[in-house]
Amino acid sequence: MTERAETWGRASGASFQTDGSASVAVSRLWRKLEQLNLIKRANNGRLVKVTKLLEDGSGTPYTRPRGSDTGPRKDVYFQLPFQYWTEEMHKKLDMPAKIVMLIGMSLRQTNFALSETPTFASWYGISEATLRRGIKKLLEKELLVKVDTETYITGETRTGYGFRTRYTFRPPYDLNVKADREGGDSETPAETLVSPKASL
Report the C-alpha gap between 120 and 131 in whole angstroms: 9
78 and 48 in one domain? Answer: no
The series of mean pLDDT values per 10 residues for the chain, 200 residues long, is: 64 64 76 92 81 90 72 66 94 97 91 92 95 98 96 87 94 80 45 40
Phi/psi zone of residue 187: left (φ > 0), alpha (ψ -120 to 50 degrees), beta? beta
Give pTM, 2 decimals: 0.62
The pLDDT, as a whole number, for residue 56 is 84
178 and 115 in one domain? Answer: yes
Identify whether 12 is part of a domain.
yes
Range of the domain at 15: 5-52
Q: How many domains does the chain have?
A: 2
Identify whether 66 is part of a domain.
no
- Could you write out the DSSP letters of every residue in 44-66? ETTEEEEEEB-TTSS-PBP----
The pLDDT, as a whole number, for residue 121 is 94
Orientation of helix 128-140 relative to helix 95-107, angle to 10°: 90
The pLDDT, as a whole number, for residue 41 is 87
112 and 157 in one domain? Answer: yes
